[in-house]
Amino acid sequence: MTSENTASLDAEAAPAPQITFDDLGLSAETLRAVKEGGYNTPTPIQAAAIPEVLKGRDVLGIAQTGTGKTASFTLPMIDILASGRSRARMPRTLILEPTRELAAQVAESFDKYGKYQKLTKALLIGGVSFGDQDALLARGVDVLIATPGRLLDHFERGKLLLTGVQVMVVDEADRMLDMGFIPDIERIFKLTPFTRQTLFFSATMPPEITRITEAFLSNPKRIEASRPATTANTITQRVVMLPGNDPRTRRAALRAVINSVEVKNGIIFCNRKTDVDVVALSLKRHGYDAAPIHGDLDQSLRTKTLDRFRSGDLKILVASDVAARGLDVPDVSHVFNYEPPRSPDDYVHRIGRTGRAGRQGASFTLVGPGDKKSLDLIEKLTGKEIEKAQIEGVPEAAIGDPNDRGGRGRRAEELKKEHSKRLSEKKQRFVKRDAERPTASMEPIEQPEAPQPPSERKPRNEPRREKHAEAPRREQERRPPREERGERSGDQTPGFGDNMPAFLRKK
């Protein structure tokens, strides 16, 4: 396919002639690594993007998840970096990823396809000590793969310079927008040379992403491997309607759906991190092999959980949207949405974890009465109505399992009824207590005496003066007479009274 031809590869377009990786202009070393990985035929996004990248053009790639976007920029970058050498703290290429998992996956791709090229790389992600990353940067790297936050941390600490970047890649740009990284992306663009080659990949093109591409890309080659926000035809999509929004109802329905199909391995997506933990715990209590993964977990635990899922040791992965983008698990049989995502674009990315590389997959989405608006937005975005599935056991499971103690509680209606019941019981207790109290006496109440005229009133402090005046008299009555104490009346010394010291007395 020549550069003059259109790069739009919609399903309605005429089928392109069969090409192989040998036709894309890659080096012999890179082709050898690709073939050893078991790949012979490139995907549409790879066939269209790789030749343009090798020509040095800016590329704007729009493709649904699971179409091979990662290889479309890693393979040509390996050949570009084959000539030249790295310098300390000045990486030659920069790849930005929204999450740690995606960054680690891209690093694995460079190891896989660049094993016959002597290239160095560094991975700058959170959860790893700055010291180890600083040591790699100090030696110099050809490829720098980073999340925006950690990259700027190193730059502000004076450990990194971006003036030597020749190729810059922004992957999953729409996810960057959702996570609030756009200001960081714009700042990083301004820190790199304006002569750089820029590769920009996204599954959707919201207005904010379009603005950035117009500002920082120079006459880019626009490549669309499919219509934006479309789902693969290899995925069978179904929704399961629930009678209520009770979390216990939803978890019981989820178990019924899992039991109704043969799940080789599956991913359950939740909107909230707290739901991820609750659903994983609930499934484990009911005997399912499940584990959670979300952004609040330690990086080492997240990596270990993903490795177990990739190797087949873990059957069900309960995840937040941190795992919805670009995770390379090629053979996921099922995707379950615990509830529809907040953004309809996320639905496309979630179910894109299954049905990859031409394989068949299936997705189920639990939809309660409060989720119908989200379902309407998803169907409007994808352009087709999703099949409603009747799952055996869901009506019974909707009652809820009394042994399932996880979740945020019962439905709001039940809570309201219990609250009214408690108020009624409290009111009855007050009425009963008032009825048991003795009735007040009907005898007339004595009227207080009329106030006395001011002239006849006693001074307020008079009793107090009388009390203090009586105290010396009581003391004198208790003491014996002076003569009995052996004292003479003339023995008093002024100032001492009856307590004159003996050495001052006259003899």
| Average pLDDT rounded to a whole number, residues 180-203 | 94
At residue 417's C-alpha, the angle toward residues 412 and 418, to 5°, is 95
pLDDT value of position 91 = 95
pLDDT at 351 over 60: yes
pLDDT tens track for 6-15? 344 443 444 4
* Topology agreement, domain 21-224 and domain 235-406: yes
The band of 58, judged by pLDDT with boundaries at 50, 70 and 90, is: very high
User: 131-137, long-range: CB within 8 Å, 24+ apart, which pairs?
Assistant: 134/159, 137/88, 137/89, 137/91
pTM of the entire predicted model? 0.63
**Among 348, 364, 357, which Cα is nearest to 316's?**
364
pLDDT at 86 over 50: yes
Q: What is the DSSP string of 191-251?
A: HS-TTSEEEEEES---HHHHHHHHHH-SS-EEEESS-TT---TTEEEEEEE-S---HHHHH
More confident residue, 67 or 361: 361
Q: How far is CA 465 from CA 215, 408, 455, 457, 475, in A?
A: 95, 71, 19, 16, 16
The band of 321, judged by pLDDT with boundaries at 50, 70 and 90, is: confident
pLDDT at 178 over 90: no
The band of 290, judged by pLDDT with boundaries at 50, 70 and 90, is: very high
pLDDT tens track for 448-502? 555 555 555 555 555 555 555 555 555 555 556 555 555 555 555 566 566 777 7
At residue 410's C-alpha, the angle toward residues 407 and 414, to 5°, is 175
pLDDT tens track for 227-239? 556 777 889 999 9
Terminal-residue alpha carbon distance, the chain: 140
| Stretch among 25-39, 84-98, 203-217, 325-339 having the lowest mean pLDDT | 325-339
Q: 235-406: which CATH topology?
A: Rossmann fold (3.40.50)
Q: Where are the domains of the chain?
A: 21-224, 235-406
**Among 51, 50, 67, 52, which Cα is nearest to 11's?**
67
| Average pLDDT rounded to a whole number, residues 59-70 | 82
Q: 21-224: which CATH topology?
A: Rossmann fold (3.40.50)
The band of 410, judged by pLDDT with boundaries at 50, 70 and 90, is: very low
> To the nearest whole number, what is the mean pLDDT of the chain?
81
More confident residue, 145 or 446: 145
| Average pLDDT rounded to a whole number, residues 132-139 | 93
pLDDT value of position 439 = 55
Would you call 249 exposed, middle or buried from its count of C-beta atoms within 10 A (0-12, 13-18, 19+)?
Answer: buried
pLDDT at 82 over 60: yes
What are the residues whose beta carbons fall under 8 Å from the beta carbon of 391, sequence distance 6 or more? 240, 253, 256, 257, 260
More confident residue, 328 or 61: 61
pLDDT value of position 18 = 78
| Average pLDDT rounded to a whole number, residues 358-374 | 91
pLDDT value of position 495 = 60
